[in-house]
């Protein structure tokens, strides 16, 4: 079997927003990489066995005492190095060059001129010019004023005297600009030159190899034991289900809890996709479907505080899952859809200097007393890789490319008290919105779109009579990281069509409004 971790890159993170992007680009090239905080135990570097090290950008200034430094072990390793932005600046500083702060930050497009050929740039040339020039993207305050001894300045710009440098003998390189962002035209080609030409990595990291590797590892880990998985219908748990099924077949049992707070007909869809083996589309996985709707609505009756609702929904899930797991006497393992960004986030930098972007977690975790071993086959993967292997495992494209759906589901999209009647209205209205988005080719252009139930009655005319009925709000946003978001500028005629359909088809709704608030200050969800 291919050892797909054989050729790998280590990325030392100085806290840049773009570090995960560097890792994703390296993975897209077909090479495994890991992100470690810059102050990760340096004695582990040699044992890790990378073929090269990338030093990321970061928010600090090398001109300040006590700023983060690359570990000496990185230089002593004899491995190729690529410093990006801050990573380049700290190389300069640590190796005897000079850095300085500029009066103003440089942010955005720049053109670099390649002034001395090296292996990193090779024959890259965005303009076919002499000397070669590249269109790049810059984001920095400081820059390198003087390259260290043994280094050649390989690129300059009008503003930055040392836009790139190289020590070909040692295979150490630095670039002031960001090759990982798509605005740098030849950025991916440049990363390929480092990873493949300079470090000599073979491109083994493909969806097929990842599946093959994980299947083998899961079999190795669990042997003939049984495994349980909470299947939510979301991307991560769905891919875990398909992957484990491929690895261990009927040793896997999934528990699907129908909370009554899911998308329209989601329970049936989950069963059709995963459990049903009677047609070509079903995977034939053992899925226990728990109808817990009444329990959820009972527990939520009279509760209006959003955080209290979240707690109740999360705790009840744990309780129900626990009951089901208790019935599977032979289950020794619990599978979870933890993905790499969760792992990076919980590792973080020991000094807390790296920017930790908080993510939401659905439930607090399962009780200790369950004493199950953990199987987390997506721990090494970014979301886009999870999607790719999902498709390769035969999951429907639509399911794998779904918008995110919060753990508490419709529970936080029904403002105030949650009732079965409201959940039904909301799920129907939401289904109309999503169906129309897909029909109009707008679904993939928005990052998240959904309907919200507003517990206010507004007047409408039904036939000749006035009727007071509920209000549905539509929310659609465009975002990269879900930390900030713009409201999606959906066409008026499209919104009109959705509104008409909801009012005509969903009983109990007399008015539809569109949310035009950005985040910040408004959050994406309404609660």
How many whole angstroms from its chain centre is CA 305? Answer: 29
Q: How many residues does the chain have?
A: 527
Q: Is 178 a known active-site residue?
A: yes
Query: Could you tell me the two tokens for 454?
Result: 């507003």
Catalytic residue among 34, 40, 60, 85: 85
Nearer to ligand XMP, 139 or 338 (CB): 338
Would the annotation count 424 as a binding residue? no
| Residue 193 neighbours by CB distance under 10 Å | 22
Query: Could you tell me the two tokens for 322?
Result: 């626990």
Query: Could you tell me the two tokens for 499?
Result: 């509104």
Calculate the alpha carbon distances from 443 to 138, 230, 239, 345, 448 in Å. 32, 27, 21, 29, 8
Nearer to ligand XMP, 189 or 522 (CB): 522
Q: Shortest approach of ligand XMP to residue 527 CB, angstroms?
A: 8
**Under rule CB under 6 A, which residues in 71-110 are in contact with ligand XMP?**
none
Nearer to ligand XMP, 108 or 404 (CB): 404
Placement of tokens 């000496």 in the chain: 72
Q: Shortest approach of ligand XMP to residue 419 CB, angstroms?
A: 19
Would the annotation count 236 as a binding residue? yes
Q: Give yes or no for residue 125 binding ligand XMP (CB under 6 A).
A: no
Q: Shortest approach of ligand XMP to residue 526 CB, angstroms?
A: 8
Would the annotation count 235 as a binding residue? yes
Per-residue binder mask for ligand XMP (CB under 6 A), 258-297, x = binder? ----------------------------------------
Q: Shortest approach of ligand XMP to residue 429 CB, angstroms?
A: 17
Find the binder of ligand XMP among 246, 286, 482, 513 (CB under 6 A): 482
Query: Could you tell me the two tokens for 38?
Result: 């810059």
Q: Shortest approach of ligand XMP to residue 232 CB, angstroms?
A: 10
- Segment near ligand XMP (CB under 6 A), from 19-27, 112-120, 177-185, 517-525? 517-525
Would the annotation count 238 as a binding residue? yes
Q: Is 85 a known active-site residue?
A: yes
Structural contact between residues 241 and 231, judged by C-beta atoms closer than 8 angstroms: yes
Distance CA 84, CA 178 (A): 7
> What is the SS3 assignment for 42?
coil
449 phi and psi, to 5 degrees?
A: -145, 140
**Under rule CB under 6 A, which residues in 448-467 are in contact with ligand XMP?**
448
DSSP states of 180-214 as a string? TSTTSTTHHHHHHIIIIIIT-------HHHHHHHH
Q: Shortest approach of ligand XMP to residue 140 CB, angstroms?
A: 29
| Residue 388 neighbours by CB distance under 10 Å | 20
Nearer to ligand XMP, 265 or 523 (CB): 523
Distance CA 57, CA 467 (A): 59
Nearer to ligand XMP, 130 or 358 (CB): 358
Q: Give yes or no for residue 523 binding ligand XMP (CB under 6 A).
A: yes
Per-residue binder mask for ligand XMP (CB under 6 A), 328-367, x = binder? --------------------------------x-x-----
Distance CA 365, CA 377 (A): 17
Would the annotation count 233 as a binding residue? yes
Query: Could you tell me the two tokens for 266?
Result: 């989601």
Find the binder of ligand XMP among 310, 387, 413, 428 (CB under 6 A): 310
> What is the SS3 assignment for 111?
strand
Distance CA 255, CA 328 (A): 11
Structural contact between residues 304 and 416, judged by C-beta atoms closer than 8 angstroms: yes
- Name the E strands within 23-76: 32-37, 52-55
Nearer to ligand XMP, 75 or 482 (CB): 482
Q: Shortest approach of ligand XMP to residue 406 CB, angstroms?
A: 3
Nearer to ligand XMP, 121 or 450 (CB): 450
Structural contact between residues 341 and 382, judged by C-beta atoms closer than 8 angstroms: yes
Distance CA 472, CA 287 (A): 34
- Segment near ligand XMP (CB under 6 A), from 14-22, 141-149, 381-389, 518-526? 518-526
Distance CA 226, CA 333 (A): 7
**Under rule CB under 6 A, which residues in 387-426 are in contact with ligand XMP?**
404, 406-408
Q: Shortest approach of ligand XMP to residue 366 CB, angstroms?
A: 16
Structural contact between residues 118 and 170, judged by C-beta atoms closer than 8 angstroms: no
Would the annotation count 52 as a binding residue? no
Catalytic residue among 40, 178, 209, 245: 178
Nearer to ligand XMP, 209 or 402 (CB): 402
Q: Shortest approach of ligand XMP to residue 209 CB, angstroms?
A: 30
Query: Could you tell me the two tokens for 203?
Result: 């491109």
Please give the size of the binding site for ligand XMP, defined by CB under 6 A.
13
Nearer to ligand XMP, 463 or 520 (CB): 520
Q: Is 397 a known active-site residue?
A: no
Catalytic residue among 180, 385, 436, 527: 180
Structural contact between residues 90 and 55, judged by C-beta atoms closer than 8 angstroms: yes
499 phi and psi, to 5 degrees?
A: -60, -50
Structural contact between residues 473 and 513, judged by C-beta atoms closer than 8 angstroms: yes
- Could you list the residues known to form a binding site, using ranges: 232-238
- Binding-site residue numbers for ATP are 232-238
Active-site positions?
Answer: 85, 178, 180
Which residues form the interface with ligand XMP (CB under 6 A)? Answer: 310, 360, 362, 404, 406-408, 448, 482, 519, 523-525
């Amino acid at each position: 079997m291919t050892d797909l971790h054989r050729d790998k890159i280590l990325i030392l993170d100085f806290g840049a927003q773009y570090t995960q992007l560097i890792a994703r680009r390296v993975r897209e090239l077909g090479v495994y990489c890991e992100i470690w905080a810059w102050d990760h135990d340096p004695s582990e570097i040699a044992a890790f066995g990378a073929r090269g090290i990338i030093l990321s950008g970061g928010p600090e200034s090398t001109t300040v005492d006590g700023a983060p430094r690359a570990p000496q072990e990185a230089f002593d390793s004899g491995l190729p190095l690529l410093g990006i932005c801050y990573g380049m600046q700290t190389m300069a500083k640590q190796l005897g060059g000079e850095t300085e702060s500029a009066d103003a930050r440089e942010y955005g497009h720049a053109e670099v001129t390649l002034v001395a050929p090296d292996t990193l740039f090779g024959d890259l040339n965005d303009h076919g010019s002499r000397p070669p020039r590249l269109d790049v993207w810059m984001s920095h305050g400081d820059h390198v004023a003087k390259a260290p001894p043994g280094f050649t300045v390989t690129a300059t710009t009008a503003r930055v005297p040392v836009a790139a440098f190289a020590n070909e003998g040692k295979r150490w390189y630095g670039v002031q600009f960001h090759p990982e962002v798509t605005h740098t035209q030849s950025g991916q080609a440049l990363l390929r030159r480092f990873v493949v030409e300079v470090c000599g990595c073979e491109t083994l990291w493909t969806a097929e190899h990842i599946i093959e590797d994980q299947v083998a590892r899961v079999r190795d880990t669990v042997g003939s034991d049984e495994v349980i998985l909470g299947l939510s219908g979301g991307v991560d748990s769905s891919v875990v289900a398909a992957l484990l099924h491929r690895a261990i077949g009927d040793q896997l049992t999934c528990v699907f809890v129908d909370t009554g707070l899911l998308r329209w007909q989601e329970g049936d869809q989950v069963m059709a996709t995963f459990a049903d083996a009677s047609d070509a589309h079903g995977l034939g996985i053992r899925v226990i479907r728990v109808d817990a709707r009444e329990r959820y609505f009972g527990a939520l009756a009279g509760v209006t505080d959003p955080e209290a609702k979240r707690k109740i929904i999360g705790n009840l899930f744990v309780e129900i899952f626990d009951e089901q797991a208790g019935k599977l006497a032979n289950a020794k393992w619990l599978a979870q859809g933890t993905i790499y960004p969760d792992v990076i986030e919980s590792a973080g930098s020991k000094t807390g200097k790296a920017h930790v972007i908080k993510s939401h977690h659905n439930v607090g975790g399962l009780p200790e007393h369950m004493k199950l071993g953990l199987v987390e086959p997506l721990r090494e993967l970014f979301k886009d890789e999870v999607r790719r292997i999902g498709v390769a495992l035969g999951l429907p494209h639509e399911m794998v490319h779904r918008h995110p759906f919060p753990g508490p589901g419709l529970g936080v999209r029904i403002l105030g008290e949650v009732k079965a009647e409201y959940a039904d209205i909301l799920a129907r209205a939401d289904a109309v919105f999503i169906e129309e988005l897909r029909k109009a080719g707008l679904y993939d252009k928005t990052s998240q779109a959904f309907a919200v139930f507003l517990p206010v009655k507004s007047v409408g005319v039904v036939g000749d009579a006035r009727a007071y009925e509920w209000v549905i709000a539509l929310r659609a946003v465009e975002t990269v990281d879900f930390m900030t978001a713009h409201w999606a500028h959906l066409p008026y005629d499209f919104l009109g069509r959705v509104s008409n359909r909801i009012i005509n088809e969903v009983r109990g709704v007399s008015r539809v409004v569109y949310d035009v608030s950005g985040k910040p200050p408004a959050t994406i969800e309404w609660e």
